Structure 1
Amino acid sequence: MRRLRHLAERTPAGRERYVDLLRALAIVMVVIGHWTVTVIMRDGAGRPMGHSALGDLRWAYPLTWLAQVMPVFFLVGGFANAASLTRLRDRGGDATAWLLDRSARLVRPTSTLLLVITGASVVARLLGTDPTRVREVFWFATIPLWFLIAYLAVVVLTAPMYALHRRFGLAVPLVLVVLVGLGDLARMTGPQELSYGSYLFGWLAVHQLGFAWYDARGTQPTAETPPPPTAGTAPSAADGTSGPPVHEHPGVRRRRLPTSRRAGLVFLAGGLAAALLLTGPGPWPVAMLHVPGERLDNASPPSLALLAVAAAQLGLILLLRGPAERLLRRSRPWQVVIGINLVVLTVFLWHLAAAILLIGLLDATGTLPTPAVGTGAWWAWRLPWLLLLTVVLTVLVAIFGPVEARSARHRTARRAGRGTTTRTALTVAGYAAVVVALLINSATPERAPEPFGAPAPALLAYLAGAGVLRLLRSGWGTRG
């Protein structure tokens, strides 16, 4: 608590605290959402297994328009990435150093999760556990990594996409939305492979809006233009959301996100109207999260319907900004936000591993309830289920959270300076290897007989990519 109070006191007056709050709320909603819809049952051999309850709770589909918070992640990520990249460049760093800084915050906690779960998988296999069962548990624990595939790709593209934003402004996300629409058409008429680009185009579009929000911060009446942060500034999951002032010049207005109350109402009403048309008379399902058995999925890849919901969420975010900022000027709420952001990725990565541990513990002691979804017993079990999971996750965060907290203080540029072409190529290659590894893991069936949990090629590619990034962060390959 003393550290949180110290960080709160040293927060720059102009910091965009609302961005940090949105990130924290999004993580909490993801965790609670995943835990709440989890259904535990037993297979033919009597072993516990889980699946999503959404397929049996059709009345809850409209609630997914709020529960689907991936757009919020990418919106906040765009703001924070633009801020930290701009700040680092003002200090003499370059995009390569920025990518290496991001890799410290994103890859280190991910490596911890993968190494721990892989080690547990090897031990389980040595104890005679069926490799199919090993893979099934590994697959469930690493479901959160699908988000990192898209986010790491967006991070690698941040510098060139921010340059496009500075040149063409809001025209860039509009073009990306058109590309998502073409992908939707391909999903309807084929070939479906032409829609795969929407995995990137959809999230890039929302990320670009984060750039536009960052450029608009100097015109927002409820927040001061922030000064360059000093040592001890309260960290965030994206390592800083403040930056230097925006200097007005011709064309800057087209780069700014409209942030007035009127703009919020337009985004909210327009987004809801478009989403209703696309999911009512239109072809897309109402649910914005994956529902087992549905022919189409709004999130895989992102559809126009999901982007419409993202626009509505943006409108709601803008409308709530004033009250939220007033709340965050109070020390206690701001300390809570700081505390969550210090370990935000750790919470996200480990929340399903916490469920596995709790299920295993309850099963081993013969106290695991398996009520049918939607019954009174199932609903009654939700509260103690969530409370027990919170306890388990708190223990995991206490153990592994310091890895992320230390990574937040990493600064490659202070030691390495500006990178060479070779260093840039190696950095991108490191990211690519990590992304490919996570893709291989996600594409491998959950019941494949994998004795290490993940396919060996995925593990090798991940270790190679993470290892290269680690060497580069330490200063390997720099000139002078």
Structure 2
Amino acid sequence: MGAASREVRRLAERTPPSRERFVDLLRAVSIVAVVLGHWLATVVGYDEHGELTGRSALPELPWAQPITWVVQVMPVFFLVGGYANAVSLAAERRRGGNATEWLIRRSGRLIPPTTALVLVLGGGALAAGLFFDADPARVRTVVWLASIPLWFLVAYLVVVVLTPPMHALHRRYGLAVPPVLVGLVAAGDVARLLGHGFWGSGNFLFGWLAVHQMGFAWRDGLPARPRVAVSLLLGGTGALLLLTLAGPYPISMINVPGERLHNMSPPSLALLAVATAQLGVALLLRDRGERWLRRGGRWTAVVAVNSVIMTIFLWHISAAILLVAALHVAGVLPTPQAGSAAWLAWRIPLLVLFGAALTPLVAIFGPIEVRGALRLRRISLPTPAVLARMASCRVFRPWLAVAGFAGVAFALLANSLWPGTAPTGSGMPAVALVTYLACAAVLRLLRSTPPATEAGPRHG
């Protein structure tokens, strides 16, 4: 990873003064917070048959549920995603590109690190069955757990595909768009409260689009005056208190089994209230954060973390599984009661151990993401002439790009929805695995094939 490290340092040194570095810091903080939250709030133990089990500790820690108002930072990721996507889309157009080429470039950052995880999980599942005669149901459970981070990627991939039309709406209607999306979220919440959960599924899209849309507003100069920031913070906090204490929404912003209504999956009005308050906090800290990032090697560290942030997120559950398995085999797996003094005392040592388990995975798979983030030259693969012509054709190219994203999103969603104990040879539904690999290959072909009118190939 030496060449990639040098590229990261060069990229940090060449950062233009106009870049809002605080946005990159927020992206890194949001994902790292999610990773630490998953590690901290997980209970590992044994069932009555002596089998390993894992679950969330939140149902047994009601005192910790208000803390999720602070540590649930996934809205921050979509907020800075909106900002970053608006910036990169505008840059693509300044270079003479279009929405299709922008979408293809974005796939180079998102798809390769995801493909690495899919291939390793699928290959490991096949090897476990062929060489170790592992129980297919148990293998599926392990793969399903390790692929939990992919549910979030489904929503983000769809939001990325919709960025060009949603940005066009923003340019025309501005801040009138988010209230419409919030209204759709409210309608979905009403449907869920009335027992019609299917009609609330649209909140997976409308909720994240609303937050993403505010990222556009931030990019276009959402006032950073203290009055605006404080209004957002107080308004979001007030709405959150009203919705959770007087209204029907649960206090936890992380799903708790048994709750009538979940705030996170799909996003609810309560989660959007949290997002509003978080936007206010971000605006309040904006100038101070910018000044802080212009000293020493802090900015280089932020660039380095962001260059492998997807890898950290995608592999953090796998790292936990590997560590728990190792401690189990060694007979030293701690299993204190959730919420007990012993359980709380083990949180910090386990964080250190989980981090140690994740480090080699990032070292191995991180360079895949770094190449996408820095657009380093990739090795071109031989491509049949007919496929190359289709990929370069300006008529087919947009449709192939959208179809590639749609197929990848469908495959990841199908894997997430497939029962966690349903036996499968590859640990994933066959249709999901085949669809994913085929569509990832289509996007790879598009990235390596320039549009017909361009003189040379485009990498990245």
**1:188 and 2:193 aligned:** yes
Q: Which shows bigger deviation, 362-371 or 351-360?
A: 362-371
Match of 1:300 among 234, 256, 265: 265
Q: Is the 8 A contact 2:99 2:164 kept in 1?
A: yes
The alpha-carbon deviation at position 369 of structure 1 amounts to: 1.2
The alpha-carbon deviation at position 47 of structure 1 amounts to: 2.5
The alpha-carbon deviation at position 69 of structure 1 amounts to: 1.1
Match of 1:156 among 157, 161, 166: 161
**1:67 and 2:71 aligned:** yes
Q: Is the 8 A contact 1:202 1:307 kept in 2?
A: yes
Tell me the equivalent position of 2:137: 132
Match of 1:380 among 345, 349, 352: 345
CA distance in 1, matches of 2:109, 2:244: 37
Letter of the structure 1 residue corresponding to residue 109 of structure 2: R
The alpha-carbon deviation at position 139 of structure 1 amounts to: 0.8
Letter of the structure 1 residue corresponding to residue 420 of structure 2: E
Q: Describe the superposition over 1:43-79 as per-residue Cα deviations: whole angstroms up to 9, x where unpaired.
A: 2332222111011111111110111111101100000
**1:48 and 2:52 aligned:** yes
Q: SS of the residue aligned with 1:286?
A: coil
Q: SS of the residue aligned with 1:40?
A: strand
CA distance in 2, matches of 1:196, 1:384: 39
CA distance in 1, matches of 2:348, 2:25: 25
Q: Describe the superposition over 1:431-474 as per-residue Cα deviations: whole angstroms up to 9, x where unpaired.
A: 11001001101111111122211111110110111011111111
Tell me the equivalent position of 2:326: 361
- Residues paired across the two proteins, number: 438
Q: Is the 8 A contact 1:289 1:299 kept in 2?
A: yes
Q: SS of the residue aligned with 1:50?
A: strand
Change (3 A) 1:444 1:42: same
CA distance in 1, matches of 2:446, 2:392: 12
**1:407 and 2:411 aligned:** no
Tell me the equivalent position of 1:8: 12
CA distance in 2, matches of 1:20, 1:435: 25
CA distance in 2, matches of 1:358, 1:205: 38
CA distance in 2, matches of 1:198, 1:149: 13
Tell me the equivalent position of 1:311: 276
The alignment's C-alpha RMSD in Å is 1.8
Letter of the structure 1 residue corresponding to residue 428 of structure 2: A
Q: Normalized against structure 1, the TM-score is what?
A: 0.88
Q: Is the 8 A contact 1:94 1:419 kept in 2?
A: no
Match of 1:474 among 442, 448, 451: 448
The alpha-carbon deviation at position 132 of structure 1 amounts to: 1.1
Q: Describe the superposition over 1:26-49 as per-residue Cα deviations: whole angstroms up to 9, x where unpaired.
A: 111011100001111012332222
Q: Is the 8 A contact 1:343 1:405 kept in 2?
A: yes
Q: Is the 8 A contact 1:299 1:306 kept in 2?
A: yes
Tell me the equivalent position of 1:90: 94
CA distance in 2, matches of 1:274, 1:145: 30
CA distance in 1, matches of 2:7, 2:93: 29
CA distance in 2, matches of 1:121, 1:152: 26
Q: Is the 8 A contact 1:96 1:419 kept in 2?
A: no
Q: SS of the residue aligned with 2:220?
A: helix
**1:461 and 2:426 aligned:** no
The alpha-carbon deviation at position 209 of structure 1 amounts to: 0.5
Give unpaired runs (5+ residues) of structure 1.
217-256
CA distance in 2, matches of 1:293, 1:113: 31
Q: Describe the superposition over 1:395-428 as per-residue Cα deviations: whole angstroms up to 9, x where unpaired.
A: 110000000000113399xx99996131101110
Letter of the structure 2 residue corresponding to residue 8 of structure 1: A
Tell me the equivalent position of 2:384: none
CA distance in 2, matches of 1:448, 1:91: 48
Q: Describe the superposition over 1:170-197 as per-residue Cα deviations: whole angstroms up to 9, x where unpaired.
A: 1111100011111111111243211111
**1:28 and 2:32 aligned:** yes
CA distance in 2, matches of 1:166, 1:9: 32
Correspondence 1:88-127 to 2 at 5 A: 88-126=92-130, 127=132
**1:331 and 2:296 aligned:** yes
Give unpaired runs (5+ residues) of structure 2.
381-387, 455-460
**1:451 and 2:425 aligned:** yes
Change (3 A) 1:359 1:264: same
**1:144 and 2:149 aligned:** yes
Q: SS of the residue aligned with 2:338?
A: coil
Letter of the structure 2 residue corresponding to residue 395 of structure 1: P
Letter of the structure 1 residue corresponding to residue 279 of structure 2: L
Q: Normalized against structure 2, the TM-score is what?
A: 0.92
CA distance in 2, matches of 1:337, 1:477: 34
CA distance in 1, matches of 2:347, 2:29: 20
Q: Is the 8 A contact 2:207 2:268 kept in 1?
A: yes
